[in-house]
């Protein structure tokens, strides 16, 4: 009886070892994909969360998660260092990082374009009672140009320089989107800056309790800003997006791009891109801005070269890619 029990016990150990050996390689294949987004008060975070759900559900052996970060500038640095695999970045910031310009101080970062997301619009928000109607009135005012390391801060300062507004002519709190909305509500800042898609939650929430005004840019101001950065375009923020803002507001736009480490394996990027485009309908349910996330737009608007994995998908779909987007 004892020998029988011993044999059963030994066979149990052998079987358990076999299970672990068989399962081990499968478990080891799981790859964790981190997506650098932004603060919770913008579109990057819910958009990135939707992308993470798609990849986790539809790409075999991938577990993806959206991470709160300081947004565009920080995401370039994190992707380069390998602390995130994917980064959501404004196009002007991607160009600066790829070429080692502006805040990237002569150092070229190892990033490539993976997909185009949607266009951002610079939304300059004040309370109506402030009486501020022109961006050049920020001199001597308290502002929030976006959190340090964000694309909003990068874009705001580019705009200030283009319009000849000295960076020391105002007091800048450099807050996140949610903090900026709260500061406008509390009166601790006079002007808030957002570079986001239309209908961002933090401005929507502010507009439900306070009368806001979106500052419009003149045609002359738009021309100066576009001359300073070729990634920018003159666009209108449609009327009716926010309560009480009924008329279109001329402003500046820039495309958002999903970047990845240049060294990321080709088939991995191919699988991620394929899942992203095939399940775009789910992402649109997360935020309607995802309607711009198409393979055609990736080729049309990508500000830096595409990753080989994206190129593989484009070739499969018969989409022509210009030489300027080849890595």
pLDDT digits (tens, 9 = 90+) for 10-22: 444 333 333 343 4
DSSP letter string, 82-106: TS-SEEEEEHHHHHHHHHT-GGGTT
185 and 143 in one domain?
Answer: yes
Check if the beta carbon of residue 221 is closer than 8 Å to that of residue 160.
no
Nearest-10 crossing angle of helices 151-162, 72-81: 130
Mean pLDDT of the chain: 91
Q: Which of 254, 273, 301 is the last residue of a domain?
A: 254
267 and 152 in one domain?
Answer: no
- Cα(189)–Cα(143) distance, integer angstroms: 5
Residue 27: pLDDT over 70: no
Q: Which two tokens stand for residue 226?
A: 């576009």
Q: Which two tokens stand for residue 273?
A: 């891109």
pLDDT digits (tens, 9 = 90+) for 175-231: 999 999 999 999 999 999 999 999 999 999 999 999 999 999 999 999 999 999 999
Please check whether residue 205 lies inside any domain of the structure. Answer: yes
Contacts of 8 (CB under 8 A, 6+ apart): none
Q: Which of 254, 274, 295 is the last residue of a domain?
A: 254
pLDDT at 104: 92
Residue 41: pLDDT over 90: no
Please check whether residue 249 lies inside any domain of the structure. Answer: yes
- Cα(148)–Cα(192) distance, integer angstroms: 14
296 and 250 in one domain?
Answer: no
Determine the structural domain holding residue 59 and report its residue range.
30-117+257-325
Please check whether residue 14 lies inside any domain of the structure. Answer: no
Please check whether residue 8 lies inside any domain of the structure. Answer: no
228 and 275 in one domain?
Answer: no
The alpha carbon dihedral of 172, 178, 184, 188 has a sign of negative
Q: Can you say how many angstroms the Cα of residue 83 is from the centroid of all Cα atoms in its chain?
A: 16
Average pLDDT of the segment spanning 159-163 = 97
Count of positions (residues) in the chain: 327
Please check whether residue 199 lies inside any domain of the structure. Answer: yes
206 and 265 in one domain?
Answer: no
234 and 128 in one domain?
Answer: yes
190 and 245 in one domain?
Answer: yes
Residue 125 DSSP one-character state: E
- 4 — pLDDT class (breaks 50, 70, 90): very low
Q: What's the CATH code of the domain at 178?
A: 3.40.190.10
155 and 245 in one domain?
Answer: yes
Residue with tokens 């939707």: 50
Residue 132: pLDDT over 60: yes
Please check whether residue 111 lies inside any domain of the structure. Answer: yes
269 and 247 in one domain?
Answer: no
Number of domains into which the chain is organized? 2
pLDDT at 5: 45
- 146 — pLDDT class (breaks 50, 70, 90): very high
159 and 87 in one domain?
Answer: no
Check if the beta carbon of residue 95 is closer than 8 Å to that of residue 324.
no
Share of residues in the chain with pLDDT > 70 (%)? 91
- 273 — pLDDT class (breaks 50, 70, 90): very high
- Cα(282)–Cα(14) distance, integer angstroms: 45
- Cα(104)–Cα(116) distance, integer angstroms: 22
219 and 306 in one domain?
Answer: no
Please check whether residue 261 lies inside any domain of the structure. Answer: yes
Check if the beta carbon of residue 90 is closer than 8 Å to that of residue 232.
no
Q: Which two tokens stand for residue 175?
A: 């807050």
Please check whether residue 22 lies inside any domain of the structure. Answer: no
Q: Whose CA is closest to 94, among 71, 66, 123? A: 71
Contacts of 41 (CB under 8 A, 6+ apart): 176, 177, 178, 179, 181, 200, 201, 202
Q: Which of 203, 219, 254 is the last residue of a domain?
A: 254
pLDDT at 105: 86
Residue 23: pLDDT over 80: no
pLDDT digits (tens, 9 = 90+) for 225-265: 999 999 999 999 999 999 999 999 999 999 999 999 999 99
Q: What is the dihedral of CA 197, 199, 205, 209, to 10 degrees?
A: 130
- 59 — pLDDT class (breaks 50, 70, 90): very high
SS3 of the chain: helix, strand, coil, percent, to 5: 50, 20, 30
pLDDT at 7: 43
Q: What is the pTM of this model?
A: 0.84
State whether residue 316 is helix, strand or coil: helix
237 and 148 in one domain?
Answer: yes
């Amino acid at each position: 009886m004892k020998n029988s029990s011993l044999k059963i016990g030994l066979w149990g150990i052998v079987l358990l070892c076999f299970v672990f050996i068989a399962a081990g390689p499968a478990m080891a294949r799981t790859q964790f994909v981190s997506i650098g987004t932004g603060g919770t008060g913008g579109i990057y975070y819910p958009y990135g969360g939707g992308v993470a759900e798609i990849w986790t559900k539809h790409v075999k052996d991938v577990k993806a998660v959206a991470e709160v970060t300081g947004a565009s500038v920080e995401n370039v640095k994190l992707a380069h260092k390998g602390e995130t695999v994917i980064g959501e970045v404004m196009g002007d910031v991607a160009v600066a990082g790829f070429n080692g310009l502006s805040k990237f101080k002569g150092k070229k970062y190892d990033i490539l374009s993976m997909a185009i997301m949607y266009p951002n619009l610079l939304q300059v928000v004040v309370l109506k009672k402030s009486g501020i109607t022109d961006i050049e009135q920020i001199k001597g005012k308290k502002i929030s140009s976006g959190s340090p390391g964000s694309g909003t801060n990068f874009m705001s300062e580019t705009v200030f320089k283009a319009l000849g507004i000295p960076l020391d002519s105002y007091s800048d709190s450099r807050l996140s989107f949610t903090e900026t909305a709260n500061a406008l509500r509390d009166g601790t800042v006079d002007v808030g800056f957002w570079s986001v898609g239309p209908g961002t939650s933090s401005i929507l929430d502010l507009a439900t309790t306070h009368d806001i005004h979106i500052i419009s840019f003149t045609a002359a101001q738009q021309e100066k800003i576009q001359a300073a950065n070729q990634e920018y375009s003159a666009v209108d923020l449609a009327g009716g997006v926010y309560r009480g803002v009924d008329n279109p507001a001329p402003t500046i736009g820039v495309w958002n791009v999903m970047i990845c480490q240049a060294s990321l394996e080709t088939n991995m990027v191919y699988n991620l891109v394929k899942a992203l485009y095939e399940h775009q309908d789910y992402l649109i349910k997360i935020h309607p801005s995802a309607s711009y996330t198409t393979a055609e737009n990736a080729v049309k608007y990508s500000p830096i070269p595409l990753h080989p994995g994206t190129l593989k998908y484009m070739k499969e779909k018969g989409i022509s890619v210009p030489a300027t987007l080849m890595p």
